[in-house]
Amino acid sequence: MNDSERITDLQQVIMSIADQLCETVDNNFDIHISVDTDDIHGQKLSLLINFLLENVRRHNRDMVQLNAVLEEKVRERTEQLDMVISGSTDGVWIWDAMQDSISFSENWYRMAGEKAHAEAQKPEYWMNRVHPKDVCRLKSAIRALMEGSKTQLHAEYRLRQESGGYRWMLCRGVCQRNDMGFPKLLAGTQTDITHLRSVDPQSGLPNEHYLKERIEDLLEARSTFYVILVAVRQLNAITESLDQQATEKLHLEISQRLLDEAHFSRLLARLPGNTYAFLCQVQPGENPHDLL
Amino acid sequence: MIGIIQRVLLDLLEETGGEPLKFAVMDRAGVPHDRDFRIDQNYPDDECLKLIQGAVDETGLSEDAINVLYAKAFLKEARNLFPQFFMMAKSSEQFLLRQATIHGVIASGLKKPEERQVVKDKFSARSIEPGFVEVTYRSPNKLCGLFRALAHEVAGIYGECLTVHCADCMKRGDDACRFELRWEKTAPDGILSSE
């Protein structure tokens, strides 16, 4: 073979290899390059390209395997997380900081007394449901988390119910940041703490916090109301001689007797120092003295 | 076995004893005279073993002597064909650590995946510590003597002194050959680039 024939042969080898490599345009690397030449350099070139293709196939296989392992791990973790969430009465919220939208769990909506929405909500959806007196505190806590001055969110607020009332919530959360340090994702839980915050554990009656909130509501509404305080004197002297079971029974008996006297429109609360309070709103036309 | 092995052997025979020696060995192995061994194709193992045995029988040299001559010729051809592999390694230790992978490169030329896998599984190398490499060779062809000769020749190319201890050997009944390669001194830098 003279030089001219050799060059032509090598050109054909290169063209043949290039044509065969066109298959890879569709991400098909499962091909084998073969050349019909006696030229050892042509054979060498095809051999190295086949080595390259094999490495691509191996990396692709590794990626598929790795992906399957990761997907399995994600599935397992999701199942575990779902189990934890479904076993708890807490609501879950996930705030996409880039999209400025929040996804709430079914429990979260249930806590607000609303039907669950599949689509994400704007932050206003949440803030508009928070009691006006608590919304600034919640926003400040979220801002501190976003700015990084706090690593965890911990805020208590009242969440308006669809029926009109409010329930106390404890919100906890953390923030995930991108490579630039900007907030990427905020996520956390919401726990109904109404009972813990508003109920006296010994008697089961509303406590002083609850009474204070109701009084504030009435004052704000410029309503007329009265409060009767009933102090049970020397109760401690009696309970000192009783065991715990008997003491609890005594407290329940006192509460029950007072409740029997309370009209359904009156609120009976237990205050510290063995004191009870009746709160009653005076309706138009009613005389407070008559009610007393 | 990949054609480069037979190709180098036949070229060596022709260079040493001319066509008569080459054809005599080919006759002993039952290989037609016009056979052109390609570096990107696989050929029957027993044919290659017959060619090597034919070379021993025709030349009257020992198998070890044939291995040494063959190793020199193979590395000469390898340096012509793949000079970059030698430039990439700064020492024979680096080269021999990469040798299993290079062997895999040659195997990539084979079309059938199972054939590729057989060739790839023959060698593995790992560094135990600097100056100590363990190479495992597993093949029914039991050409461990050839690997030993090749390892010494590679060290020679880099101007280094290498000892090869065959800790396990298939010829002694082990599952695989396990070579312990130790370097006694480091080579002067750039020995290859000065050539």
Does one domain contain both B103 and B179?
Answer: yes
In this predicted structure, which of B40-44, B78-82, B141-145 has the lowest mean pLDDT?
B40-44
Average pLDDT of the residues in B143-152: 93
- Determine the average pLDDT of the residues in A258-274: 82
Q: How confident is the model at residue A288 (pLDDT cuts 50, 70, 90)?
A: low
For residue B128, the model assigns a pLDDT of: 95
Closest CA to A196 of A207, A185, A183: A207
Do B145 and B101 lie in one domain? The reply is yes
- For A54, which residue in chain B has the nearest alpha carbon? B108
**Same domain, yes or no: B56 and B124:** no
Q: Following CA atoms A216, A217, A221, A223 in sequence, which dihedral angle do they give, to the nearest 10 degrees?
A: -80
Q: Is B111 found in the same domain as B161?
A: yes
Between CA B48 and CA B59 the distance in angstroms is 17
Partner-chain residue, chosen from B39, B81, B105, that has the shortest CB–CB distance to A51: B105
pLDDT at A256: 87
Q: Are residues A98 and A50 in the same domain?
A: no
Beta strands in A10-149 (DSSP E): 91-96, 101-104
CB pair distance less than 8 Å for B39 and A46: no
Question: Minimal CA–CA distance to A55: which of B88, B120, B78, B133?
Answer: B120
Provide residues of B within 8 Å CB-CB of chain A: 36, 38-40, 81-82, 104-106, 108-109, 111, 116
As a whole number of angstroms, the distance between CA A92 and CA A104 comes to 6
Of A32, A43, A51, the CB nearest to B38: A43
Q: Is the pLDDT confidence value at A143 over 90?
A: yes
The 10s digit of each residue's pLDDT in A101-126 is 999 998 999 999 999 888 999 999 99
- Claim to verify: residue A177 and residue A100 sit in the same structural domain: yes
Q: A74 with A115, same domain?
A: no
Structural domain includes residue B19: yes
Burial string for B47-75 (b: 16+ CB within 10 Å, else e) reads: bbbbbbebbbebbeeeeeebbbbbbbbbb
Higher-pLDDT residue of A221, A143: A143
Contact status, residue A177 vs residue A184, Cβ threshold 8 Å: yes
Query: In chain A, which residue's Cα lies nearest the Cα of B2?
Result: A47
Interface of A with B in 21-60 (CB under 8 A): 32, 34-35, 38, 40, 43-44, 46-48, 50-51, 53-54
Q: What is the pLDDT of residue A264?
A: 65
List, for residues A149-182, the tens digit of each pLDDT value: 999 999 999 999 988 889 999 999 999 999 999 9
**Range with top average pLDDT, A29-38, A131-140, B183-192:** A131-140
Nearest to A46 among B36, B40, B104 (CB): B40
What is the per-residue pLDDT for B42? 84
Residue B107 and residue B55 share a domain: no
Residues 6+ apart with CB under 8 A from B108: A47, A48, A50, A51, A53, A54, B116
Q: CA B97, CA B133: separation in Å to the nearest integer?
A: 7
ipTM of predicted assembly, 2 dp: 0.72
- B98 and B161 share one domain: yes
CATH label of the domain that carries residue A222:
3.30.70.270
A211 and A161 inside one domain: no
Burial string for A247-270 (b: 16+ CB within 10 Å, else e) reads: beeebeebbeebeeeeeeebbbbb
Where does a domain end: B61, B81, B109?
B61
Per-residue pLDDT tens over the stretch A70-106 = 999 999 998 888 888 878 889 999 999 999 999 999 8
**Residue B82 domain flag:** no
Residue B188 pLDDT greater than 60, yes or no: no
A117 and A187 fall within a common domain: yes
Query: Do A231 and A282 fall into the same domain?
Result: yes
Task: Give B190's pLDDT tier (boundaries 50, 70, 90).
Answer: very low
Q: Do the chains contact at B81 and A40, CB–CB below 8 Å? A: yes
- Whether residue B79 is contained in a domain is answered as no
Domain residue limits at A241 = 199-291
Q: Is residue B72 part of a domain?
A: no
Last residue within a domain, chosen from A163, A196, A229: A196
Among candidates A34, A35, A47 on the partner chain, residue whose Cβ is nearest the Cβ of B108: A47
Least confident among A30-34, A50-54, A262-266, B182-186: A262-266
Q: Please indicate, yes or no, if residue B9 is contained in any of the structural domains.
A: yes
Confidence tier at A266 by pLDDT (50, 70, 90): confident
Q: Which of A142, A173, A196 is the last residue of a domain?
A: A196
Identify the pLDDT of residue B195. 40
Instruction: Establish if A1 touches chain B: CB-CB under 8 angstroms.
Output: no
Cα dihedral value B102, B107, B109, B113, nearest 10 = -140
Per-residue model confidence (pLDDT) at position B189: 53
Quote the mean pLDDT of chain A.
89
Q: Residue A35 and residue B40: Cβ atoms within 8 Å? A: yes
**Out of A176-185, A256-265, B144-153, B159-168, least confident range:** A256-265
Between A220-229, B131-140, B166-175, the lowest mean confidence (pLDDT) is in A220-229
Whether residues B57 and B97 share a domain: the answer is: no
The answer to whether residues A190 and A206 belong to one domain is no
* pLDDT tens figures, A178-235: 999 999 999 999 999 999 999 988 888 999 999 998 999 899 889 888 898 888 888 8
The answer to whether residue B84 sits within a structural domain is no
DSSP secondary structure code for residue A130 in this structure: B
- Name the residue type at position A123: P
Alpha-carbon gap, residue A240 to A242, rounded angstroms? 6
CATH code of the domain in which A140 resides: 3.30.450.20
Of A166, A196, A226, at which residue does a domain stop?
A196
Cβ partners under 8 Å of residue A2, min gap 6: none
Quick one: how far is CA B54 from the chain centroid? Answer: 18
pLDDT-derived band at A137, boundaries 50, 70, 90: very high
B53 and B104 in a single domain? The answer is: no
CB contact under 8 A, B108 and A51: yes
Residues of B in contact with A47 (CB under 8 A): 39-40, 105-106, 108-109
Which residues in chain A are closer than 8 Å to B111, comparing Cβ atoms? 32, 34
B190 is a domain residue: no
Q: Residue B138 is part of a domain; what is its CATH number?
A: 3.90.1520.10
| Banded pLDDT at B119 (limits 50, 70, 90) | confident
* pLDDT, tens digit, 9 for 90 and up, residues B30-46: 999 999 898 888 889 89
What is the Cα–Cα distance from A124 to B109, expressed in whole angstroms?
Answer: 64
Residues of chain B in contact with residue A34, where contact means CB-CB under 8 angstroms, are: 40, 111
Range of the domain at B29: 3-61
What's the CA gap between A157 and A170, in Å, rounded?
7
- Average pLDDT on B52-65 reads 94
Number of domains in chain A: 3
Residues of B in Cβ contact (< 8 Å) with A51: 104-105, 108-109
Contacting residues of B for A57, CB less than 8 Å apart: none
Number of domains in chain B: 2
Q: What was the pLDDT predicted at A10?
A: 87
Contact A146/A154 with Cβ under 8 angstroms?
no
**Domain co-membership, A52 together with A133:** no
Do A105 and A190 lie in one domain? The reply is yes
Question: Is residue A63 located within the same domain as residue A33?
Answer: yes
Closest CA of chain B from A65, distance in Å: 19
Based on the domain organization, do A167 and A218 belong to the same domain?
A: no
Any domain includes B78: no
Same domain (yes/no): B102, B39: no
Window from A234-243, B2-11, B159-168 with minimum mean pLDDT: A234-243
B49 or A6: which leads in pLDDT? B49
